[in-house]
Amino acid sequence: MRGWAVVLLVAVTLLGGLSPALAQEPPPPPNPSDDELRNSQQAVQERAGEVGRLTTRLAELDAQADDLAAVLAVEREDAEAALVDLGIAEDAAAQARGRAEDARIETEAATAAIDEARARLDDFVTATYQQGLDTGPLGLLTSSQTPEELVSRAEFTDLLARAQLAAQDGLERARVDKANADSTARALLQEAEDREAEAAAAKVAADEAYAVADAAARAQAEQLAAVQAEREQVQAQLDAAESADSGLREQRARYDEWQRVLAEREAARQRAEREAAQAREAAAGPAPRAGSGSVQRVIDRAMSQIGVQYVWGGGNGRGPSTGIPGPAGDPGNRVGFDCSGLMLYAFNGAGVALPRVSRNQYNSGRKVPLSDLQPGDMVFYKRGGNAIHHVAMYIGDGRMIEAPYTGADVRVVPLRRQNLLPQATRVL
């Protein structure tokens, strides 16, 4: 009995504590007709189909933007390669001009040697004439008073003959040296002129490639603006279609929240990876001899730069640097990395000096198939029949690190398969 009393007391207490509003039963919800339910279902289905079509169009526009970025990357690689060729040609021209100048100096020295040898011979002939020496057999007999004097004069005559022969031989050698120096100087001068012509041609090629890259950048900016305008229109239509049905709005909200959480987790992971790589890099000490560094050190060097902005032509073995000014979207006062510059910095930590341009980096090591891909391998991209335009580093677990394009930062992303070359380059 005592237990039932307790239960009854609790029940009375709870019922007594309820507010009048909660105690009242809520009104019934609206009861739509069969026609209203059917029309509502049809409208939702039509809007769902429109959402699918617009979402597909957004994916197409994103792919079109990626293609435009790849085309621009090819043009920029061409321009940067032409600038490298120009520098090589100008150095060759300067060296050839220096050799030609050295040959000119040797020619002048040979000319001076001829003049000196001719002067010595002239002095010898003049002295012989002024002293009236008769060194012939008759002169020896008529001018000698005694047999001893005859022997002495004969010895002196032999000395004079050797001296005259030496002077003539010196003059002839000087003339030969002069002829050789003239020939060498002409050849080196022609080489210098050829190298300067090549440098001029390389300058023209670099200017043309630079102009093409600039035009491509501007064209890409216009095309991307048009794509972005269409994308905004499509996005507005998509938003309108989604907002017409609360269920679709809830789906999009859940999807947006999922994306946000995923992005935060990825950003946190990349921050942690960057900080860990920076710590390992700081503890590693100076760079080892070429080729003797570890793969992990190369990866750490690259990972330590996560978040550094992309700058066309930026980056070297010491870190981010000022890029190449000019083409639209790449002012020259920014500091960062482009794709190949990031590789220069990463591999410099292992004492490996890579070439500057990505298409040359492709040939800087051993080729390995993608089936044998290992962390530290460089992977390359080309679009259609065009030359290589992008390089990244595989870091394992199906991921790679790259400096992607203007407007983005150094980042870690899943290994992209589209336009990926079937072979990677292994340096270490």
Residues that are catalytic: 339, 390, 402
**Token duo for residue 282:** 């700081």
SS3 content of the chain, % helix, strand, coil (to 5): 65, 10, 25
Report phi then psi at 107, rounded to 5: -65, -45
Q: Exposure of 403 by Cβ count < 10 A (0-12 exposed, 13-18 middle, 19+ buried)?
A: buried
Residue type (1 letter), 265: R
Other CB atoms within 10 Å distance of the CB of residue 398: 9
Residue 234 contacts residue 54 (beta carbons within 8 Å): yes
* CA nearest to 393, candidates 382, 384, 381: 381
Instruction: Supply the DSSP symbol for 349.
Output: T
Both tokens of 12, joined, read 């009375």
Alpha carbon distances (Å) from 24 to 116, 352, 361, 367: 131, 81, 79, 79
Axis crossing angle, helix 147-243 with helix 246-284, rounded to the nearest 10 = 150
CA distance 132 to 212: 83
d(CA 67, CA 419): 10
Contacts of 82 (CB under 8 A, 6+ apart): 202, 205, 206, 208, 209, 210
Query: What is d(CA 167, CA 121) in angstroms, rounded to the nearest whole number?
Result: 5
d(CA 173, CA 214): 60
Alpha helices in 244-355 (DSSP H): 246-284, 295-303, 339-348
User: 335-336 and 399-402 as β-strands: parallel, antiparallel, unpaired?
Assistant: unpaired
DSSP state for residue 396 in the 8-state scheme: E
From CA 404, how far away is CA 425, in angstroms rounded?
19
Q: How many CB atoms lie within 10 A of CB 346?
A: 28
For residues 349 and 287, the answer to whether their CB atoms sit within 8 Å is: yes
Contact 373, 398 (CB under 8 A): no
Judge whether 305 and 315 are in contact, CB under 8 Å. Answer: no
